[in-house]
Amino acid sequence: MKKRIVVAGLLATAIVCQGAQAKTLEEVLKEKGIITEADYKEVVKSSPFQYKVGSGFTFKSPDDKFHLSIGGRLQARYTFTDTDGGQDTSEWRVRRMKMWLKGHAYTKALTYKMQANFVDGGSSKLLEDAFLNYKLMDELQIELGQDKVPFARQELVSSGSQQFVDRSDATDTFKPAFDMGAMVHGEAAKGLVNYTFGWFGGGGQSNVRSSNNDNAIAARLEINPFGAMKHSESDLEMTEKPLVSIGADYYRNKFITAETNNTTFYGKWLNKGAAFAANEKIEVNQASADLAFKWMGASLQGEYFWAQGDGDTSNIVQRAQGYYAQAGYFVIPKQLEVAARYSSVDPDRDVANNTHTEIQGAISYFFAKHDLKLQGDITNIHKQHSAGPTDDMQYRLQAQIIF
């Protein structure tokens, strides 16, 4: 009878802990010394079903050869824009609603992921991640399918792990985003050096290119001299020792002029002011360099982007550049963070009065890390025009849950 009372009490404690700290019954039993670390690992290993906040619901076969996790993410956002000389806007929207499936099959070396976004971009962009990855060793892995092109640090950080309500204007202008193809990647010395090389169709997200026999290539090198750094922007871990990450990217693609005008083209800077000839091919080369730093709740991050488009027949050259820098600090460790960011984009360096800049301030409250948070930011959007500059003020509030 006493044993039943103890077990019932522990179960009730586990339920309370799950609500407050997302702890499982096995974790509670381990913390109270009822079971050992070895017992805990054995129970977790043998359990066919588990749930962990942020990792979703997990199902696995008894021999652990097949593993499937199901989860999702919701971002609900309100935006008010005070337009300089124009109509103010007040907008409610579901910014992202994603569902993902991931795991391994036949062997832990063969992993997969599928992710759909039900609100961003319509049916043509419903599918985001859809790939298989085979790990030969830490230093050599092969991936096939659709994934993010390895270009732009901030783009490679999940939209659910951002320091602001969303990414900077500079990143959104130059990012290649998703494409279909193959990648070779790996890490050496426990994450001190990471590399990725990819060969892609070049048509963008869920777009099979049929009008052009050119493909795209991309490469990224990342060096972490003081140890591996997670791809998330805020220092929620309150890193005890300073961490630095240095990255460099390169991207090359070739487009027909008509492709730059449809919704599948993802180089926002191109063809803004440069009058390329009709149906000519444009070779695009892009490069970027980035730096990130974390220590004791403080974080710094910045990137510089360079891009050039060359017309095959018109010989027109369009050059663009952009950059951003941001910093954040937890005034209440692991809970309340303040941040500031500056972003600048010049889509055509040979055209005067077309630079866009953004100055932003943000505050975020983390209830359960990035899995449950509330964020707000204020942005001054300054745009240069031939008729004179404009300054819009944008106010955003966003709630996020990952489950």
What is the mean pLDDT of the segment spanning 377-403? 93
pLDDT-derived band of residue 122, with 50, 70 and 90 as boundaries?
Answer: low
CB 379 within 8 A of CB 393: yes
> For residue 54, is it within any domain?
no
354 plus 392 within the same structural domain: yes
Q: What is the pLDDT of residue 280?
A: 83
pLDDT-derived band of residue 24, with 50, 70 and 90 as boundaries?
Answer: low
398 plus 322 within the same structural domain: yes
Residues in the chain: 403
187 plus 255 within the same structural domain: yes
Q: What is the pLDDT of residue 121?
A: 58
Per residue in 308-358, pLDDT (tens digit) is 999 888 888 999 999 999 999 999 999 999 999 999 999 999 888 889 999
> For residue 137, is it within any domain?
no
Domain carrying residue 9? 1-47
307 plus 398 within the same structural domain: yes
323 plus 283 within the same structural domain: yes
Task: Give the Cα separation of 56 and 403 in Å (integer).
Answer: 5
Q: What is the pLDDT of residue 10?
A: 36
Of the ranges 118-132, 147-161, 225-239, 258-272, which one carries the lowest mean pLDDT score?
258-272
* Bigger pLDDT: 114 vs 44: 114
> For residue 344, is it within any domain?
yes
Per residue in 67-87, pLDDT (tens digit) is 999 999 999 999 999 999 889
DSSP string, 297-349: TEEEEEEEEEEEEEETTT--EEEEEEEEEEEEEEEETTTEEEEEEEEEEES-T
> For residue 105, is it within any domain?
no
> For residue 56, is it within any domain?
no
What is the mean pLDDT of the segment spanning 141-151? 97
pLDDT-derived band of residue 294, with 50, 70 and 90 as boundaries?
Answer: very high
- What CATH number is given to the structural domain containing 177? 2.40.160.10
81 plus 16 within the same structural domain: no
Q: What is the pLDDT of residue 37?
A: 76
pLDDT over 80 (residue 402): yes
What is the mean pLDDT of the segment spanning 237-241? 94
Task: Give the Cα separation of 287 and 277 in Å (integer).
Answer: 25
What is the mean pLDDT of the segment spanning 21-34? 69
328 plus 195 within the same structural domain: yes
pLDDT over 60 (residue 360): yes
pLDDT over 80 (residue 270): yes
pLDDT over 60 (residue 1): no
> Residue 248 pairs with which residues in a beta bridge?
221, 289
234 plus 269 within the same structural domain: yes
pTM of the model: 0.86
237 plus 322 within the same structural domain: yes
> For residue 213, is it within any domain?
yes
Number of domains comprising the chain: 2
Q: How far is CA 296 from CA 300, 333, 335, 341, in A?
A: 12, 9, 13, 20
- What phi, psi does 8 have (nearest 5°)? -60, -40
> For residue 37, is it within any domain?
yes
313 plus 360 within the same structural domain: yes
> For residue 162, is it within any domain?
yes
DSSP 8-state class, residue 147: E
11 plus 77 within the same structural domain: no
What is the mean pLDDT of the segment spanning 131-137? 97
Of the ranges 59-63, 76-80, 211-215, which one carries the lowest mean pLDDT score?
211-215
256 plus 313 within the same structural domain: yes
Of the ranges 118-132, 252-266, 319-333, which one carries the lowest mean pLDDT score?
252-266
pLDDT averaged over every residue in the chain: 87
